[in-house]
Structure formats: structure tokens, C-alpha cells
Amino acid sequence: MRIDLHAHSAISDGTDTPAGVVLRARDLGIDVLALTDHDTFDGLPEALACGTTVGVRVVRGVEVSCTLLGSSVHLVGYGPREEDEDLAEELRRIRQGRSGRVPAMLAKLHQLGYPLTMAEVEAQVGDSPSVGRPHIADALVAKGFFPDRNAVFDSLLADGGPAFVDRYAPDVRHALRLLRAAGAATVLAHPWGRGSRRVLDETVLASLAHDYGLDGIEVDHTDHDESTRAELRAIAERVGLLVTGSSDYHGAGKRDNELGCNLTDPLVFHALMDVVSTRGGRP
Ligand code: AMP
Ligand code: FE
Ligand code: FE
Ligand code: ZN
């Protein structure tokens, strides 16, 4: 069984429609696919309907943008009750923070010699309920300033980069409480990707697991090399965390993240779905 538990559609910052992601999963022989758009559930109905039609099991997911000790950390929830008002309210707040600082980033870009209008950014947003850095990057690519999204992040938009402006994100411990209360199983996405290793050492991971009920960590991910994966696997074993593997597919928006490039063990998937059932979520 091929199980991929982390993928994005154009409802956040991927480039395929939700149904398009599911169709691609079917074409690649994937049996179980979680749609985990950033901070929104808006893509789930279309993905679930398409999955029913083409025979791919679609899992409800969301990737919540969080912080821990000043670093950006991503927490994936599986099977939340989307109507949970506390979770929905927090996701709205995150989305508003993301969109709200776009004018400040456009001002910085202007000063740096990359003039860009809000209309040019909005042309890249599609059906996403918030506007973020990936859309700004796409607009700069569309104007011919850079060859692809990654190049824009590398020169301008990465955390702390010359055109970066910070935004609201909840502490990961608060997001863990909200997701669990909404019935979700929780997995830290790419815990040692992009500098978050500094804040997510074994002591912190153990505390998130034992004191805040974190269920797993995403170990097999393109942001982790082989030795990183081995270290994380050993920590997960000692601390008692489930280990997942996923693509973090973004369509044309990310290199090296094809659907199914990393997979999750079926036993782990079933353990996660058992957690969702126990918490009253939607497996
Ligand atoms: P935002 O929510 O507007 O701050 O944008 C964050 C999103 O941009 C993340 O969810 C990633 O998809 C993407 N992103 C962040 N940092 C990088 C990076 N260094 N390289 C490529 N994509 C990135
Ligand atoms: Fe993303
Ligand atoms: Fe992420
Ligand atoms: Zn992701």
C-alpha cells in the first residue's frame, strides 16, 4: 500500500486543483493521500469527492503554521472536525496575518529594485483564502525577475531574507491543544528542515510528546538527508513518537517533492487513524 500523508493544492500554495492532486495520486499508484493545505480546509470537499470517484482514500489534513522559540515550525493535523470553532478561529487569524503583511513585503521589494503591485500578486493566488510568500514569489517569476519560486526564496523571501516580513503564528503547543481538541492526530512536519533543528532537539520533542500529546514526526522528507533521518528515527524510538514519510507535494511550486517520493508505513497510518477515532475526529 502506497501512503502519502502531506500534499498541497492551489487552495494554499500548490499549483494543482484539489481534484488534480488526487488524480495525480491515482496515476502514480498512491492508495492513500492526505491533503494538507496550509491553514485551511477549503480544498477538502473537492479532494474527498474526487477520491471517492477514482478510488483513492483521501485523508482530511491541515498544515498549521506555528512558531517555537522564534523559529517557524509546521504541525500537521489529520482528521480534525472542521467545524470546531476554536480551531477555525485560529486558522482565520493565521491566514489574516499571512495576507496582512503582504503590503509591507511589497514595499521592501520595491526598495530592493523589484517593483510588484498587489494586482500582480493577486493574479497568482487563485482560490487560496490567504496570500503568502509563495504567491509573491510566483508573481516575481511571472515578471521574469527569477527562474523559479525557489530562486526567489533563496535571494529574497526566506525567513530573515531581505524582503521577509514576519507574521502571526501560534506557539506550537497551543496549536497542539487546538488540534487535539478538534479530534485530530498530530505530526510535526519536516522537524529538522530549514533551521528548525535548533529549537526541536530531543528534550523538546520528548516534552511535546509527553506533555502536549504530539503523536508523530515526519522523518522521511526531502528536507532531511540520510543521517538526519537516522537521528530522528532514533529519537522517535526513544521518545515514543510515530514516524511518517511524505512528499510535501506542491505541484510545480516545489522541486524534488513529487507525490509518493516518500511514503508512510501502513501500520503507522492505521495507528494515526486509531488516534483520530479515539479523539472523536474524522478518520
Ligand atoms: P508564508 O505563510 O507567507 O510565510 O509562506 C510560507 C510558505 O512559503 C511555506 O509554507 C513554504 O511553502 C514556503 N517557504 C518558506 N520558506 C521557504 C524556502 N526557504 N524555500 C522555499 N519555500 C519556502
Ligand atoms: Fe507550502
Ligand atoms: Fe511545511
Ligand atoms: Zn507542506
pLDDT digits (tens, 9 = 90+) for 45-86: 999 999 999 999 999 999 999 999 999 999 999 999 999 999
User: Is 249 touching ligand 1 by the criterion CB < 6 Å?
Assistant: no
Cα–Cα distance, 48 to 41 (Å, whole number):
11
The CA 8 to ligand 3 mean position distance, Å, reads 10
Atom of ligand 1 nearest to the CA of 167: 4
With a cut of 70, which residues of the chain have pLDDT below it? none
Which one of 9, 13, 76 would you pick to mutate in the ligand 1 pocket, going by the greatest count of ligand atoms within 8 A of its CB?
A: 13
- Cβ atoms of residues 60 and 36 within 8 Å: no
Residue nearest atom 13 of ligand 1, based on CA coordinates: 134
- Cβ atoms of residues 8 and 14 within 8 Å: yes
Q: Which cell numbers in the block locate residue 245?
A: 514519510
The CA 249 to ligand 1 mean position distance, Å, reads 13
- Cβ atoms of residues 281 and 80 within 8 Å: yes
* The predicted structure's pLDDT at residue 99: 97
Averaged pLDDT of the chain: 97
* The predicted structure's pLDDT at residue 266: 98
User: Is 98 touching ligand 1 by the criterion CB < 6 Å?
Assistant: yes
Cα–Cα distance, 183 to 204 (Å, whole number):
23
Cα–Cα distance, 200 to 167 (Å, whole number):
21
Q: What are phi and psi of 208, to 5 degrees?
A: -60, -40
Q: Which cell numbers in the block locate residue 17?
A: 486543483
Q: Which cell numbers in the block locate residue 156?
A: 529574497
∠ CA(39), CA(40), CA(42), 5° rounding?
A: 170
Digit-coded pLDDT (tens) for 225-255: 999 999 999 999 999 999 999 999 999 988 8
* The predicted structure's pLDDT at residue 29: 98
Q: Which cell numbers in the block locate residue 214?
A: 504530539
Q: What are phi and psi of 179, to 5 degrees?
A: -65, -45
Q: Going by C-beta distance under 8 Å and a sequence separation of 6 or more, which residues neighbour residue 253?
A: 8, 13, 14, 15, 134, 138, 149
∠ CA(202), CA(261), CA(154), 5° rounding?
A: 70
User: Is 133 touching ligand 1 by the criterion CB < 6 Å?
Assistant: yes
Other CB atoms within 10 Å distance of the CB of residue 111: 11
**What's the pTM?**
0.96
* The predicted structure's pLDDT at residue 194: 82
User: Is 150 touching ligand 1 by the criterion CB < 6 Å?
Assistant: yes
The CA 248 to ligand 4 mean position distance, Å, reads 5
DSSP assigned state of 180: H
* The predicted structure's pLDDT at residue 253: 85
